[in-house]
Each structure stands twice: as structure tokens, then as C-alpha cells.
Structure 1
């Protein structure tokens, strides 16, 4: 499905606020792709579709995960909203005709991150955190880091996310810990 058709379809299923967020992530991802020498069109499309399953209720997320044979861990069972990312990848494929595995994996990891993230996956994860509509303490710091160093910005975004999850008393997804640990090991050549 071409970008314009995806925009039209999303505008009908997402709330106005979520739709604007998706457009912001799409543009931010495209800008980051140019900055870090990644495929701009893949980034733009993955950014646009990253939240295509975000409007689905928790109960339906769990049910749809079964339908798509998504393995649900204990953290996701307790916090089903996390499933909108892997389910979004499934919907991007079935509802939007996206068959590029790089785009699908970037959508799948945009909420938790994970180990072995590609440059595109890091860009989508980061774009979701720093798009222009985001306004939270520390977002300007993340945006500044993102101007120079993708890995440092993703690591800072992981840290920001972990602080928020801990403040809210939520469970920490193991993929976030694995992704963060890997970036620290790379930084220190461990």
C-alpha cells in the first residue's frame, strides 16, 4: 500500500491525537533516517504505521495475539497495551500490505525495543519518543542527543522509559533490559 493510502486509512481508524502522533513519528523517522543514512521511505512508512493497532482494547489485543499466534509473555499478559507493537506489525502486513521484514520488525519493537536492533528499528523506537508532539521532562535532551548519536539517544530513551515505568509501578519488559544492556556493552566493548 502506498504511503498516501495508508495515511487515509489510518485517519479513519485512529483518534485525531493518535493520528497526529503517527504523522509526527513518520516525519521524525524520515528525518532521522536521512541523518543516520537509513532508507528514508522505509522509516517514513514504519513511523506512520507503528501505532496502527493502538486503538485496540486490552482484551481484544490479547484475543488478537492468539489469532496471529503471537507468543505473549507474563509482562504482556499483565500489560496488554504492549502487544499493540507486535500486533501492529501483523496488521501492517495483513491490512496494509507491508511485506518488508525490516519495516515489520521496526513496528514490532517500537514500544519495548530489544536486543539486536537494526538502525531502522532504533530510528522508529527513538522517533516515537521524540516526535514534535511529545512533551515530557527530558524530551529536549533526547532530541539533542539524537542530533549526533543514534545509539546514545536510544540508550537515553531506554533510560527515560525505565524511569517512567518504575515511577508508575509497572512491570519492566525484558526486551527493554536486553536492548539497554546490549547498547551499554557495545559502548564499553564488553
Structure 2
């Protein structure tokens, strides 16, 4: 699928603000893919579709999570997590993308997972550091991403966990497992 066709499909699903965010994620993912040797076309498409389900009704997302056999514990955590696996599913069903690497990069862009692939890391990080993001710690992660993808990812996941804890919100276990896996990999 070509960029313009993908963007056209996504644009009707998003607010203008979220569409601009998506364009930033796309450009950032392309840049990171070039820098770290990932498939640029796959990074582009995964970034374009990463928030495809962001504004779907919660009940629709809940039904897809249940019917498609996604981990049911997702439903016990913040609904912000749901759009990632649901987006992977809907990208396959509605946009016809079947590449497992692309779909997994969409699926894990919010929670991460142990053993993340290079493409998954790039989309996760691109979503976190795209130029439209402005929050404490993002500039540090942007700088780290220029030199070490894994260290930037560790910091991004760490910041996310700290942010949720500070707000007294639950942290999805897979995010903790992701952090532990990344840290183990960086010292091993």
C-alpha cells in the first residue's frame, strides 16, 4: 500500500490533531528506520496506522478484544491500551494489510512486549518522541534516540511507568515486562 492511500484511509478515522500527530510519528519512524536499519516502508505503514482505532467506540473495541482472543486482562486496565491491538486487527480487516511485522508494531505500540522487534521499537519510540509531543522528559528521550535506540526506549518506558504511578493509575503488566526485558538486554 502506498503512503497516500494509507493516509487517506487513516485521516477519516482521526481528529485533525491526531492526524497531525500521525504525520509526526510517520516522519519520525522513517527517520529512525533509516538510522537503525529497519525496513523504511514497513515503519512508514505501521506509523500511519498506529492510531487507526483510537477513536472507535469502547464497546466496539471491547468486543474485538474478546472475539479475537486478545488477552482479556487488557479490559481490566486503562482503555487507552485497547486501540493498539484493535488497530492491528482493523488494519488487517479494513485496510487489507497482512504483514505480521507491521501489525505487531501497531499492536504493541502502547504496551510494548518482551522481545520487541526493531520495527516494534521504532514505532513505539516514534509515537513517544514525534515533534508534536511536549511533556517532561521527551527532549531527553529524543536526544537519546539519536545515539542508542534501546536506551531511549528504556527511558521512554520508564517515564511512562513513572507517569502512571504518579497519577495513581494502574500499569499494564506487559509494560513492566517490557521494561525488565529491555534492561536485561542492555546489561547482558
TM (norm. structure 1) is: 0.95
Report the equivalent of 2:156.
Answer: 157
Report the equivalent of 2:179.
Answer: 180
Work out whether residues 62 and 77 of structure 1, in 8 Å CA contact, stay in contact via their aligned partners in 2: no
Mapped to 2, the partners of 1:176 and 1:162 lie a distance apart of: 8
In structure 2, do the counterparts of structure 1 residues 183 and 71 end up closer, same or farther at CA, with 3 Å as the change threshold? closer
Report the equivalent of 1:15.
Answer: 15
Figure out how many residues of one structure are paired with residues of the other and give that number. 188
Report the equivalent of 1:127.
Answer: 126
Which runs of no fewer than 5 residues in structure 1 stay unpaired? Answer: none
Displacement, 1:76?
A: 3.3
Q: CA RMSD in A?
A: 1.2
Report the equivalent of 1:53.
Answer: 53
Mapped to 1, the partners of 2:124 and 2:33 lie a distance apart of: 12
Mapped to 2, the partners of 1:166 and 1:88 lie a distance apart of: 26
Displacement, 1:185?
A: 1.0
Displacement, 1:57?
A: 2.7
Displacement, 1:66?
A: 2.3
- Runs of 4+ displaced beyond 6 Å: none
